[in-house]
């Protein structure tokens, strides 16, 4: 500290330098040279590290709004996605950024392979790099589960089951991953602790070691340059290489951000439903393994899930010691590069095959389309707030009706077109086909056949035109907007010649043996049947259907009416 009038700034800098030594650290960092000159090849490692920082930042932001529980996980992610300020964007960056990280880290690995940068004295750093790649993979797999939506749940369930198939330790390993014998809360809390605490610490430690080893041994110049040539063309890493790193980093960031905006964030499917039969597929980076499994069935499955991946991993770790080439020239490392090339080709072919198969599969397309509709409905319903049991479909107005149906109606009425137990099957109720079926066979299995009602109606007999006209008349009475008025009129004129009017009045007032046909099938009529089908205007004394008037509220009867009317066309 001199008092010779030095500016304050440099005094402060001296003071800090004395105590922290940042300047020396900075000098060390900047001192590196790039033998053979800066290149785009050398940007990949830095860009991968940069993407990890992006993942860490967005991950912290997301953690402020996420809850790892079976009932709350999906709800909180839907809240992030659809309600929080820029939530879709932050979550999208995190999700798409992880894909970019896998791509860039993979390219980095290939570049190291191509340049021979795994060779003496960099063997350890190659292994650390492989470990880092493994950690990134576990990051991706654990993060995939956290939203607890259909695809995360099912993909992870399959992975856990594969783990369970391992010899000797399988069952214990599966329980360890799941945090118990089944998938549940502890599966989520474990995945979350792993994803948000253990893995970041592990990856940071490995990355620091990776960079330290890299600094110790430096860049591996292109194979075509002799040591002297490379030294002659050396440039300082700062700023020559750093500038390229920054440009590529910004470009990759831009691609990630534009994809997020273009697709309005990462997908979120409907909440995990263990009772559904979901068509599980892993994320794109695991598709090659998924496809590999297809070739090994039954007890051989373990070949695809463990033995082949295990051998490839072991070979990768042993690579620096297996490669006996004289120089870094590809020519001298033909065997290694050919094997690696074939491996890459196999992975690509497997992945593309999996995609192509699904693209051609109509079952897959249908399942995806159904899930899309269900997912969109779930997210729309989640805007009202998710109930404490996590079942967002409770917000659906038809959910309650469905419960009442199961509780009070399903005991007698079928909904499958296969006949009810003790009453008409209501699938497609009030459609022309349903009405026609009733008229020509009122005591069939789908109609009054199984009902306890005192049978009376005789099957309608007539020419096809006459039947058509009668069907149209009944159809028009339901208030259907697409009814043909002229044909319905002809049907009405047939009521008397066909003896329908012996039992049925059609003025809305007459109380006869059969229901009065005026407005039959309208909302008002259906509500009246639900309330009390034994009303004299309806089925009267013949009725056996329990009266719901005092069991359901007026609102509930209205809900059930809507439910029944919505069965048409289903």
Partner 1 sequence: MAVEPPDQRRAFLKLMTAGLGAFTAALAIIPGFGFLCGPLGRRTGRGGGNPLRVAAERDIKANRPMRVTAVGPHEDAWLRMEKVTLGSAWLVRTTEDGPIRAFSTICPHLGCGVDFDESSGKFNCPCHTSAFDLDGRCLGGPSPRGLDELETHVEGRDVLVRYQRFRVGTSKREPIG
* Residue 399 within binding range of partner 1, rule CB under 8 A: no
Block residue for tokens 């309330």 = 531
Q: Cβ closer to partner 1: 387 or 489? A: 387
Block residue for tokens 């049947």 = 529
* Residue 556 within binding range of partner 1, rule CB under 8 A: no
Which listed residue (10, 27, 28, 83) binds partner 1 by CB under 8 A?
83
Say if residue 267 is preceded by a cis peptide, omega within 30 of 0.
Answer: no
Binding part of the chain for partner 1, among 88-96, 353-361, 402-410, 425-433 by CB under 8 A, reads 88-96
- Angle ∠(231,232,233) on CA atoms, nearest 5: 90
Q: Cβ closer to partner 1: 191 or 242? A: 242
* x/- map, 40-79, partner 1, by CB under 8 A: ----------x---x--xx--x--xx------x--xx-xx
Residue 139 CA to residue 135 CA, distance in Å, equals: 6
Instruction: Name which of 209, 231, 208 is nearest 219 in CA terms.
Output: 231
* x/- map, 299-338, partner 1, by CB under 8 A: ----------------------------------------
Q: Phi/psi at 68 (nearest 5 deg)?
A: -85, 80
Residue 296 near residue 304 (C-beta atoms within 8 A): yes
- Three-class secondary structure of residue 463 per DSSP: coil
Which listed residue (12, 40, 86, 169) binds partner 1 by CB under 8 A?
86
255-294: which residues touch partner 1 (CB under 8 A)?
257
Q: How far is the CB of 257 from partner 1 (least distance, A)?
A: 7
Q: Cβ closer to partner 1: 265 or 424? A: 265
Which listed residue (340, 386, 446, 470) binds partner 1 by CB under 8 A?
386
Which listed residue (14, 32, 33, 89) binds partner 1 by CB under 8 A?
89
Q: How far is the CB of 35 from partner 1 (least distance, A)?
A: 17
Q: How far is the CB of 381 from partner 1 (least distance, A)?
A: 10
Residue 336 CA to residue 342 CA, distance in Å, equals: 10
Residue 510 CA to residue 505 CA, distance in Å, equals: 5
Residue 483 near residue 472 (C-beta atoms within 8 A): yes
Q: Cβ closer to partner 1: 2 or 64? A: 64
Q: How far is the CB of 42 from partner 1 (least distance, A)?
A: 14
Residue 91 near residue 77 (C-beta atoms within 8 A): yes
* x/- map, 335-354, partner 1, by CB under 8 A: --------------------
Give the 3-state secondary structure of 66-105. Answer: CCCCCCCHHHHHHHHHHCCCCHHHHHHHHHHHHHHHHHHH
- Strand-pairing partners, residue 33, are 236
Q: Cβ closer to partner 1: 394 or 402? A: 394
Q: Cβ closer to partner 1: 299 or 388? A: 388
Count the residues of the shown chain that bind partner 1, applying the rule CB under 8 A. Answer: 40
- Three-class secondary structure of residue 37 per DSSP: coil
* Residue 90 within binding range of partner 1, rule CB under 8 A: yes
Residue 149 near residue 270 (C-beta atoms within 8 A): yes
Q: How far is the CB of 393 from partner 1 (least distance, A)?
A: 13
State how far the alpha carbon of 363 is from the alpha carbons of 149, 151, 278, 279, 357, in Å: 20, 16, 11, 9, 11
Q: Phi/psi at 236 (nearest 5 deg)?
A: -70, 135
Q: Cβ closer to partner 1: 307 or 383? A: 383
- Strand-pairing partners, residue 34, are 235
Residue 515 CA to residue 1 CA, distance in Å, equals: 107
Which listed residue (382, 446, 476, 557) binds partner 1 by CB under 8 A?
382
Q: How far is the CB of 41 from partner 1 (least distance, A)?
A: 18
Binding part of the chain for partner 1, among 101-109, 165-173, 377-385, 419-427 by CB under 8 A, reads 377-385
Residues in the chain: 570
- Strand-pairing partners, residue 271, are 149
State how far the alpha carbon of 342 is from the alpha carbons of 133, 338, 345, 348, 391, in Å: 20, 6, 5, 10, 48
* x/- map, 221-260, partner 1, by CB under 8 A: ---------------x-xxx-xx-xxx-xx--x---x---
Binding site for partner 1 (CB under 8 A): 50, 54, 57-58, 61, 64-65, 72, 75-76, 78-79, 83-87, 89-90, 93, 236, 238-240, 242-243, 245-247, 249-250, 253, 257, 382, 384-388, 395
């Amino acid at each position: 500290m001199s008092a010779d009038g030095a500016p304050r700034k440099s005094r402060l800098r001296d003071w800090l330098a004395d105590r922290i030594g940042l300047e020396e650290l900075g000098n060390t960092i900047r001192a590196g040279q790039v033998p053979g000159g800066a290149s785009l090849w050398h940007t990949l490692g830095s860009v991968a590290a940069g993407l990890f920082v992006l993942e860490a930042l967005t991950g912290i932001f997301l953690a402020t709004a996420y809850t790892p529980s079976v009932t709350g996980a999906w709800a909180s992610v839907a809240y992030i996605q659809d309600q929080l300020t820029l939530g879709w964007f932050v979550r999208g960056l995190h999700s798409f950024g992880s894909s970019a990280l896998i791509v860039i880290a993979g390219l980095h690995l290939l570049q190291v392979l191509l340049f021979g940068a795994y060779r003496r004295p960099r063997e350890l750093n190659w292994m650390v790099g492989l470990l880092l790649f493994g950690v990134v993979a576990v990051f991706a797999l654990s993060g995939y589960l956290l939203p607890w939506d259909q695809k995360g749940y099912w993909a992870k369930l399959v992975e856990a089951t594969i783990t369970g198939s391992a010899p000797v330790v399988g069952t214990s390993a599966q329980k360890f991953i799941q945090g118990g014998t089944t998938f549940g809360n502890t599966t989520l809390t474990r995945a979350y602790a792993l994803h948000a605490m253990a893995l970041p610490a592990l990856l940071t430690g490995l990355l620091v070691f990776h960079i330290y080893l890299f600094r110790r041994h430096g860049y591996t110049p292109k194979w075509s340059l002799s040591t002297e040539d490379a030294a002659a063309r050396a440039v300082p890493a700062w700023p020559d290489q750093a500038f390229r790193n920054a440009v590529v980093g910004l470009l990759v960031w831009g691609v990630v951000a534009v994809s997020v905006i273009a697709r309005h964030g990462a997908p979120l499917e409907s909440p995990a439903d263990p009772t559904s039969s979901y068509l599980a597929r892993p994320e794109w980076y695991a598709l090659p393994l998924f496809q590999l499994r297809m070739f090994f069935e039954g007890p051989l499955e373990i070949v695809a899930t463990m033995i082949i991946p295990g051998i490839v991993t072991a070979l990768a770790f042993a690579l620096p010691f297996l490669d006996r080439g004289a120089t870094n020239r590809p020519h001298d490392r033909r065997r290694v590069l050919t094997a690696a090339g074939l491996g890459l080709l196999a992975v690509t072919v497997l992945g593309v095959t999996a995609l192509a198969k699904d693209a051609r599969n109509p079952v897959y397309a249908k399942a995806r389309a159904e899930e899309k509709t269900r997912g969109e409905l779930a997210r729309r319903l989640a805007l009202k707030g998710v109930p404490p049991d996590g079942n967002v479909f409770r917000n659906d107005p038809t959910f309650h009706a469905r419960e009442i149906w199961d509780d009070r109606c399903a005991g007698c009425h079928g909904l499958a077109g296969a006949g009810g137990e003790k009453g008409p099957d209501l699938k497609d109720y009030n459609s022309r086909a349903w009405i026609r079926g009733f008229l020509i066979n009122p005591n069939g299995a789908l109609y009054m056949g199984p009902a306890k009602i005192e049978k009376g109606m005789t099957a309608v007999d007539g020419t096809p035109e006459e039947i058509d006209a009668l069907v149209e008349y009944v159809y028009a009475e339901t208030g259907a907007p697409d009814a043909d008025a002229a044909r319905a009129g002809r049907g009405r004129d047939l009521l008397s010649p066909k003896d329908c009017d012996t039992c049925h009045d059609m003025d809305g007032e007459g109380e006869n043996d059969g229901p009065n046909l005026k407005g039959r099938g309208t909302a008002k009529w259906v509500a009246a049947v639900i309330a009390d089908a034994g009303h004299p205007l309806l089925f009267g004394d013949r009725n056996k259907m329990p009266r719901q008037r005092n069991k359901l509220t007026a609102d509930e009867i209205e809900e059930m009416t809507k439910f029944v009317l919505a069965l048409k066309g289903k």
